């Protein structure tokens, strides 16, 4: 299957969703001072930040509002966040809007949330409350409402009301603090680390502004953040070129240019030129942190000296050497918040596709054929949900992967989702991509987006598991370099 510019290999929705949500998480969670403000001292506060492609055009904005708010006779604080992105993805226009409100009581560890991601008719909404150490929520997508219950730390929303201020801690050079938060993608606990890096200066509106520089890390995402003397964020930068800068309301609401997102995430390799359909590829990654290694399995093996060999093999009739524990395999039969394999519509379709087939590999092949044939390949800049993909029947690699995973799990085939890069002939480089892996005695890579029942050897895995692993790709953006040593 030839790659066209409308085949979105870049996992744009995940990357940009996380870039913005990390900024919101940072501003929401990291206000740490010895003193705790009294409820009466909490005043309304707002902040506008422009979203830029490096020194290029502004492609969106983030608007944060914090205000006192009473609910059911309880005093509390609400943080309202709105983010909008306008850009091009492989030359196709892309627009996504993220909005949400987080409210928490001042006198008890209780919170309510309502968040929504919308793009080109695709809509995912999560609403619920945190109480008694549990998130009880409803996820709405594809015309369906799915209940969710997730354990969270009982003190995640504790007694300190300053956790909802739009400010960061005043840390000196080398000083560091960590706080817990809630991962917006997997709905699991996460840890955010902030380290002071000293005084600095940035230009805002052409004027040099004295600031403090902080290094922020959350879920593998690394940001450099600059704050003013009051701790309010004035700018933030990612290693892959996406930046936030403080702007006025009037500037934010002025339509900006639509920059192209794909080119910045393409890795042009050195060495031999790969080709689509290759059965074996030897590649040497660089730009990683000391001791950092890419995952290995029977398809992607480590070689002496730090190179990796990716080998495309037919899974039928092959002996397996995979030592994955049974409980780790079984967990990939369970439903996730966005991979709703236990929903009746997903289960009914999986049964229809696979019929009475008993062989797991043949069931996986049948699902692969159905997803490839029935999901229109179109760039979608949003949050992938299997139910939404089933209803809309369109999307890029993210949408193909989550729907395949939901159907395969419903058919009894353990399936995990993988994020990495794949060779693109048209882009002449490796582009970020998602694909599923199925368990048939060992893990086999498949790619319904590219029409490959067994993924070719130009796929390089960076992380795999559930959707919670996808944001790990952000740690590689702007850093990963590849040298191709062999192509067969």
Nearest to 453 by CA among 316, 353, 330: 316
Distance (Å, rounded) from C-alpha 288 to C-alpha 480? 7
**Does a structural domain hold residue 7?**
no
Are β-strands 259-260 and 74-89 bridged in parallel, bridged antiparallel, or unpaired?
parallel
CATH number of residue 383's parent domain: 3.10.620.30
Residues 216 and 329 in one domain: no
Instruction: Determine the pLDDT at residue 88.
Output: 63
The answer as to whether 376 is a domain residue is: yes
Evaluate whether residue 9 is within a structural domain. Answer: no
If asked whether residues 289 and 199 sit together in one domain, one would say no
Examine the fold and report which residue of 238, 260, 282 is the final residue of a domain before the chain moves on: 260
Q: How confident is the model at residue 363 (pLDDT cuts 50, 70, 90)?
A: very high
Asked if residue 2 belongs to a domain, the reply is no
In this structure, are 392 and 476 located in the same domain? Answer: yes
Cα dihedral 11→17→19→25 (10° resolution): -150
Q: Are residues 274 and 250 in the same domain?
A: no
Mean per-residue pLDDT, 238-260:
76
Domain shared by 362 and 240, yes or no: no
Shared domain for 230 and 311, answered yes or no, is: no
Q: How many CB atoms lie within 10 A of CB 127?
A: 16
The pLDDT value given to residue 30 = 40
Task: Compute the distance between CA of residue 397 and CA of residue 187 in angstroms, rounded to an integer.
Answer: 22
Kindly indicate the confidence band of residue 13, based on its pLDDT and cuts at 50, 70 and 90: very low
Q: Look at the chain and report how many structural domains it folds into.
A: 2
| Dihedral angle of Cα 303, 10, 243, 470, to the nearest 10 degrees | -60
Helices (H), 1-118: 12-29
For residues 193 and 222, membership in a common domain is answered with yes
170 and 58 belong to one structural domain: yes
Residue-by-residue DSSP string for 295-319: ---SSEEE-TTS-EEEE----TT--
Q: Where are the beta strands (DSSP E) in 38-159?
A: 45-53, 58-71, 74-89, 92-105, 111-119, 122-131, 134-141, 144-151
Domain that holds residue 396: 264-487
pLDDT digits (tens, 9 = 90+) for 117-149: 887 777 888 899 887 778 898 988 888 888 888
> How many angstroms separate the CA atoms of 465 and 183, rounded?
15
Distances (CA, A) of 334 to 138, 330, 341, 416: 18, 8, 7, 10
Contact 134, 149 (CB under 8 A): yes
pTM (two decimals): 0.78
pLDDT, mean of residues 44-61: 82
What is the 8-class DSSP label of residue 447?
Answer: B
Mean pLDDT of the chain: 80
Alpha helices in 315-462, H assignment, sequence order: 326-330, 344-354, 360-374, 386-392, 397-410
- Pairwise pLDDT comparison (376 vs 232), residue with the higher score: 376
pLDDT reading at 166 higher than 70: no
Instruction: For residue 405, tell me if it sits in a domain.
Output: yes
What is the pLDDT confidence band of residue 291, given thresholds at 50, 70 and 90?
confident
Is residue 356 situated within a structural domain? yes
Query: Both 273 and 188 in a single domain?
Result: no
Q: Specify whether the CB–CB gap between 111 and 129 falls below 8 A.
A: yes
The answer on 239 and 94 residing in a single domain is: yes
**Averaging pLDDT over each range in 63-77, 81-95, 186-200, which range is the top one?**
63-77
End position of a domain, from candidates 207, 240, 260: 260
Residues 248 and 307 in one domain: no
Of the residues 260, 278, 309, the one at which a domain ends: 260
341 in a domain, yes or no?
Answer: yes
258: confidence class by pLDDT, cuts 50, 70, 90: low
Does residue 3 lie within any of the structural domains?
Answer: no
Confidence band (pLDDT; 50, 70, 90) for 309?
A: very high
Kindly state whether residues 320 and 336 are assigned to the same domain. yes
Burial class (CB in 10 A: 0-12, 13-18, 19+), 118: middle
DSSP state of 272: S
């Amino acid at each position: 299957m030839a790659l066209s510019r409308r085949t979105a290999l870049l996992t744009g929705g995940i990357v940009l969703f996380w870039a913005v949500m990390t900024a919101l998480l940072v501003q929401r969670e990291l206000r740490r001072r010895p003193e705790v403000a009294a409820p009466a001292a909490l005043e309304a506060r707002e902040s506008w930040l422009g979203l830029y492609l490096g020194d290029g055009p502004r492609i969106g904005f983030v608007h944060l509002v914090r205000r006192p708010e009473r609910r059911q006779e309880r005093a509390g604080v609400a943080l309202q966040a709105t983010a909008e992105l306008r850009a091009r993805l492989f030359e196709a226009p892309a627009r996504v809007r993220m909005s949400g409100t987080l409210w928490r009581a001042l006198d008890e560890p209780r919170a309510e949330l309502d968040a929504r991601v919308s793009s080109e008719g695709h809509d995912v909404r999560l609403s619920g409350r945190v109480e008694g150490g549990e998130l009880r929520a409803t996820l709405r997508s594809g015309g369906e409402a799915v209940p969710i219950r997730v354990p969270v730390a009982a003190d995640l929303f504790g007694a300190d009301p300053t956790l909802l201020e739009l400010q960061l801690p005043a840390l000196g050079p080398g000083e560091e603090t960590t706080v817990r938060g809630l991962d917006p993608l997997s709905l699991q606990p996460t840890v955010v680390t902030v380290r002071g890096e000293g005084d600095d200066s940035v230009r805002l509106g052409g004027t040099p502004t004295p600031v403090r520089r902080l290094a922020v890390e959350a879920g593998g995402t690394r940001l450099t953040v600059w704050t003013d003397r009051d701790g309010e964020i004035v700018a933030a930068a990612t290693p892959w070129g996406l930046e936030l800068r403080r702007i006025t309301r009037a500037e934010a609401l002025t339509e900006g240019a639509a920059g192209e997102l794909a080119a910045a995430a393409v890795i042009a390799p050195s060495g031999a030129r790969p080709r689509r359909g290759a059965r074996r590829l030897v590649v040497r990654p660089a730009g990683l942190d000391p001791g950092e290694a890419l995952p290995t399995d029977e398809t992607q093996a480590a070689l002496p000296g730090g190179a990796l060999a990716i080998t495309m093999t037919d899974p039928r009739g092959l002996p397996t050497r995979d030592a994955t524990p049974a409980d780790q395999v079984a967990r990939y039969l369970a439903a996730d918040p966005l991979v709703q394999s236990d929903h009746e519509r997903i289960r009914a379709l999986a049964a229809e596709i696979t019929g009475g087939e008993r062989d797991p590999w043949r069931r996986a092949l049948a699902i692969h054929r159905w997803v490839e044939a029935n999901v229109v390949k179109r760039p979608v800049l949003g949050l992938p949900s299997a139910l939404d993909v089933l209803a809309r029947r369109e999307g890029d690699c993210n949408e193909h992967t989550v729907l395949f995973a939901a159907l395969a799990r419903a058919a009894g085939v353990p399936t995990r989702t993988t994020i990495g890069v794949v060779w693109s002939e048209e882009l002449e480089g490796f582009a970020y991509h998602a694909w599923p892996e199925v368990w048939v005695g060992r893990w086999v890579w498949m790619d319904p987006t590219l029409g490959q029942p067994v993924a070719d050897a130009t796929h390089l895995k960076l992380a795999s598991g559930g959707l919670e692993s996808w944001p790990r790709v952000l740690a590689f953006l702007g850093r990963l370099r590849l040298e191709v040593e062999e192509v067969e």
